Chains A and B, each alone.
Chain A
Amino acid sequence: MEISGGSRLDPYVDRYAERTHGMTTSEIRALFAVANRPEIISMGGGSPFVSALPLDAIGEMTAKLVAERGAQALQYMGGQGDPRLRELICGVMALEGISASPDDVVVTVGSQQALDVVSRIFLDPGDVVIAEAPSYVGALGTFTQYQADVVHVQMDDAGLVPDALREAIAQVAASGRRAKFLYTVPNYHNPAGITLVEERRDEIIAICAEADLLILEDNPYGLLGFDGPPLPALRARVTEGVIYLGSFSKTFASGVRVGWAVAPPGVKEKLVMASEATTLCPVALSQYVVAEFLAHHPWQEQVKVYRELYRARRDACLDALAASFPTGSSWTQPAGGFYVWVTLPEGVDAKAMLPRAIQGRVAYVPGTGFYADGQGRRNLRLSYSLPAPDRVREGVRRLAAVLDEELDIVSTFGAGALEA
């Protein structure tokens, strides 16, 4: 087989849609492939500690489900999702102050699919999405696939900064474009670990209402707070102007891939149609499993178990950071969820340091992935959800040693190496 005319080894290369042009493999993907090895303490992925689930009981429950109702559980169903599950989801949301009807709920294949269908029905190429700085990498990836431009808005320790939001909206308007929605993770933010304080919630809603800006509230971690009951969600305060996304990935199991969206009626209808076009219906068996778990197991006790597990891991992570990280570093103090957002000393590039970290047998996610505009080079996300507390401590200790080596290299070539 000669390739005398030249070949790019992909005969379809000239036929792909424009939106696929950024879909390339990367060094970071290569490094993450190693991070899954057991020798490496991975503080990269946001995986729940599903080993804490009553796996035997769930196994028995699932077997019984298939034996007794397999004809339904293994069949197609309506695109909006199982009515019984939608009713139970309303009960889950009530814990965060949300009043919704099962008719308002669209079940999706994880909230990632909800992000996709919301983007599909709202975003044209060149549209603007306003998002926190930093923002969830999976959402940024979806917005990018729909060729939207992301404008980031500053956060501080109290969450999204209202004045910065006003400014961003004005700047987008001044550029002759209109932002389609604000994407926000108000509780135990991914990746920042920050929570939007109560005092700002109504203000953020008011700013968006005034600008006629839809809010896309993504809340997978809301029930995983360590310091008391959750703050009422944005959707708990208003029913119009907010599309709310929920998920069982963090409070039950990520592998079932069950999430949901709650939207005003007109939006909901379009979400259902968009969802049917991608999956016909959400996974019936998964929905039945989740519904059974919610209906017949002490699922709120399970959430408490998770909360205590993650609190111990968060404490281990913060203690180890305080004990071992060098001067010039700083990090957030999450009151729930899975993540600590670390700022490294000046001159250190978290992405450039990742190979050294992998060799030091620890992994994290570099900060640049959480921005659409190249920010975040001095940042990294640590996820403490999966490793046991002693492994979390060891992982942070390893990372501190890696950071010391990196600082030595950076100082050799001048602190300006990063800015060069």
Chain B
Amino acid sequence: MSDLGHVLVLAGGVSFEREVSLASGRRVSEALRNLGVDVELVDVDAHLLPRLVNDPPSAVFVAVHGVEGEDGALRDALDLSGVPYVGATGAAARLAFDKAVAKAVVSRAGISTPASVALQHAAFRDLGGPVLLDRVVGRLGLPLVVKPVRGGSALGVSVVRESSELPQAMVGCYSYDSVALLEQHVTGTELAVSVVDTGDGPVALPAVEIEPVSGAFDYAARYTAGMTEYHVPARLDSGVAAAVADIAVTAHRALGLRDLSRTDVIVTADGAIEYLETNVSPGMTATSLLPLAAAAADIDLGALCRDLLQHAATRGMSTPGAPA
């Protein structure tokens, strides 16, 4: 058995990514168990906090995706319960989970990101939907990507090529979140760069290149094996690969993250690297990107998760509500 003690993997919850999260949680738990770690997979519900108080684990691995796992509230609750956990603090998660805020923060760190605007539904209602959409198109051009400002797994995301498609995309997006990010659609090589830090500083894993068979990396393409072709390491020359890795680590630091993250970027045909978003609770499923990157670096997923838990346990509890 590991000397880590009893650890919990949190997964599930009521977010739209519950199913993905449960798959992530099962995979992490199994990988840890294979190394002899005393691990238990636990859903996020009303039983969790009493459980943490009555039987505190030595550390928690947060495999909850979507709002519940990444908007900071769960992490704040873990801090309030005095339980160490793997991953960003609540404040940092909150920052990174809002794509518009994350883009602004990362942009200030000198990283290029596609032009965008984040608008609440109320702005369209008060100022006139069609008129404001015209302004957006006039300024950002087409095609555009419409996405919920908070969310993952491409849920509620649409690529809009004609103005006439925008209203439907907006309605679909606002069903997921009250704020929509309208972003210039950048094409090129899609990359996911995972960053891990087991105590010696953040290190980028090999970039994963994503080539969806249908052309769109939507929900089905992400979670149906066979619908996307992955290249690990990505087919990049060494200079671009190093620049991409540097951007992921810079974003990780700029957002005040810790332990692990995954940054998505696009390398355009002219070699520009455009930042899209950073995920503070990367997927760990059989088709997820961080495990692919770890495998390419000859890092065992279970050993990585164990080391991250050990690092968290050693670090101890965070101050609730501490700034990122």
For A417, the chain B residues whose CB sits under 8 A away are 167-168, 170-171
Q: Are B172 and A352 in contact (CB under 8 A)?
A: yes
Bound CA–CA A408/B125 (angstroms): 8
Contact of A409 among B22, B174, B232 (CB under 8 A): B174
B112 at the interface (CB under 8 A from A): no
Q: Which of A24-32, A75-83, A210-218, A379-387 contacts B (4 or more CB under 8 A)?
A: A24-32
For the complex, give the distance between the alpha carbons of A31 and B153 in Å.
Answer: 12
The answer on a CB contact under 8 Å between A8 and B228 is: yes
Closest to B43 in A: A37
Given contacts A1-B296, A413-B130, are A9 and B226 in contact (CB under 8 A)? yes
Q: Nearest CB to that of A37 among chain B residues?
A: B14
Q: Which of B25-33, B75-83, B216-224 contacts A (4 or more CB under 8 A)?
A: B216-224
* Interchain CA distance A39-B153 in the complex, whole Å: 23
Find chain B residues with CB under 8 A from A13 CB: 225-226
Report if B129 contacts A (CB, 8 A).
Answer: yes
A175 at the interface (CB under 8 A from B): no
CB distance from A179 to the nearest CB of B (A): 31
Structural contact, B298 and A3, CB atoms closer than 8 A: no
- With an 8 Å Cβ cutoff, the count of chain A residues facing the other chain is 41
Those of B117-172 within 8 Å (CB) of chain A: 121, 124-125, 129-130, 133, 153, 155-156, 164-168, 170-172
In the assembled complex, the Cα of A9 lies from the Cα of B167 at a distance in Å of 36
Q: Is A18 in the interface zone, CB < 8 Å from B?
A: no
- Chain B residues lying within 8 Å of A406, measured Cβ to Cβ, are 171, 175
Q: Using a CB-CB cutoff of 8 Å, which residues 320-358 of chain A contact chain B?
A: 349, 352-356, 358
- Tell me whether B213 is interfacial, beta carbon within 8 Å: yes
> Does chain B have a CB within 8 A of A280?
no
**Chain B contacts for A33, CB-based, 8 A:** 18-19, 22
**CB-CB < 8 A to B165: which residues of A?**
420
Q: Is the CB of A352 within 8 A of B171?
A: yes
Query: Closest CB of chain A to B148's CB: distance in Å?
Result: 9
Chain B 286-307: CB-based contact to A (< 8 A → 1; otherwise 0): 1100001001101000000000
Closest to B211 in A: A6
User: What is the minimal beta-carbon distance from A404 to any residue of chain B, in angstroms?
Assistant: 13
Contact call B167/A4, Cβ cutoff below 8 A? no
Are the CB atoms of B231 and A30 closer together than 8 Å? no
Q: Is B64 part of the contact surface with A, judged by Cβ < 8 Å?
A: no
Q: A-contacting residues of B (Cβ < 8 Å)?
A: 14-20, 22, 45, 121, 124-125, 129-130, 133, 153, 155-156, 164-168, 170-172, 174-176, 211, 213, 219-220, 223-233, 286-287, 292, 295-296, 298
Apart from the given pairs A30-B155, A33-B18, A354-B175, 8 other A-B contacts in the complex at a CB distance below 8 Å? A2-B232, A4-B231, A25-B223, A349-B172, A356-B176, A409-B170, A414-B130, A414-B167
